[in-house]
Chain A
Amino acid sequence: MSNEALEVTGKSLAEAQESAATELGVGVDEIEYEVVTEPKRILGVIGSGHYTLRAWRKGATPPSAPPPAAGAAAPSEGEDAEGKPSVEEVARRAQEIALHIFSMMGLEATAEIVSADHDGVLLDVKNPTSQGLLIGRHGDTLDALQFLVGVGANRGEHGGYRVTLDLGGYRKRQEEKLQQTALDTAAQAIEAGQEAVIPGLKAYERRIVHNALADRDDVETYSEGEGNQRQLVISPKNLPE
């Protein structure tokens, strides 16, 4: 898990927080941040512009934190939801919901709880017949299923446990491919002596690349751009000026 601090931007504070949480791989209430820039206020109304946050995982010390910008807002304390279900309970519900969805779709499936700990729940569903249909384009359908199962398993509470739904090891294979892409692209960037870009990644895919290269001292990674245009940049360190 990354201990890095990263910078994200969003049209609203909530959007920026969410984007930071996704890239850090934790819930929105598990991040701490400082506001780097805020939209300008015109006559008390928030005008155009974006929120830029510098965010890190709660408990991690932000490396080389610059002094907070003048007038930066203090991080707001996330509310502690009371009576939160245990991670085992969330895992059991997620398994039940996933199997119910599959059975209503007329599909035979098994669902194995691969892990359930403070990082969340990983559920691997195995269905021999309709893999492609359930994964969808670029994993979109699987992401949607995962989202609904996750909300249902946490009973609609936000800031619950992250639920990851895999389908016959699809996500695991994608993750390995992406880690290889990260290494290859980093090698290209070093070889060429200039930044290399991996476009078109989803937030959790960018996180995989960030993490794959986090321990390297010859490259650094960051994301830039908004929404669908957001892309991951791998930058060799000690670039000649």
Chain B
Amino acid sequence: MEEFVRYLVSLLVEEPDKIEIRPRTAGQTKVYQVFVAQRDLGKVIGRRGRTAGALRLVVEAASRKFDERATVDIIS
């Protein structure tokens, strides 16, 4: 799952080697914290949060496929 999140984020950024994914657990939910280079932050969030929202939906759908509950949190 972590690699999946990393791949999706890599589609969006200029500096893929600066991506850091930190898995955290919050109750039943796995939260993948996403860290990217400062200049890429806007790209990952998108206008009015559109990109972040798309990322979250796809990760949540994928996690259901793996019978777990996961989401992403973009850390600024």
Contacts and interface: CB of A to CB of B under 8 A. Distances in A.
A105 B60 CA distance: 11
Interface in A39-70: none
Contacts of A151: 11-12, 51
A18 B47 contact: yes
Interface in A107-133: 107, 130, 133
Interface in B37-59: 43, 47-48, 50-51, 53-55, 57-58
Interface residues on B, range: 20 to 34
Contacts of B11: 97, 148-149, 151-152, 156
B72 to A, nearest CB: 12
Nearest to A100: B7
Chain A interface: which size bin?
20 to 34
B62 interface: yes
A137 B11 CA distance: 24
A140 interface: yes
B57 A104 contact: no
A178 B54 CA distance: 24
Interface string A143-179: 1110111011000100000000000000000000000
Given A18-B47, A148-B11, A156-B43, A106 B65 contact: yes
A101 interface: yes
Contact of A141 (B7, B14, B58): B58
B3 interface: yes
A106 to B, nearest CB: 7
Given A101-B4, A133-B65, 10 more contacts: A14-B47, A106-B66, A107-B65, A133-B64, A141-B57, A147-B51, A148-B11, A148-B54, A149-B11, A156-B11
Interface of A: 14-15, 18, 97, 100-101, 104-107, 130, 133-134, 136, 140-141, 143-145, 147-149, 151-152, 156
28 contacts: A14-B47, A97-B11, A101-B4, A101-B58, A105-B62, A106-B65, A107-B65, A130-B65, A133-B64, A133-B65, A134-B61, A136-B57, A140-B57, A141-B58, A141-B61, A143-B54, A144-B53, A144-B57, A144-B58, A147-B50, A147-B51, A148-B11, A148-B12, A148-B51, A151-B12, A151-B51, A152-B12, A156-B13
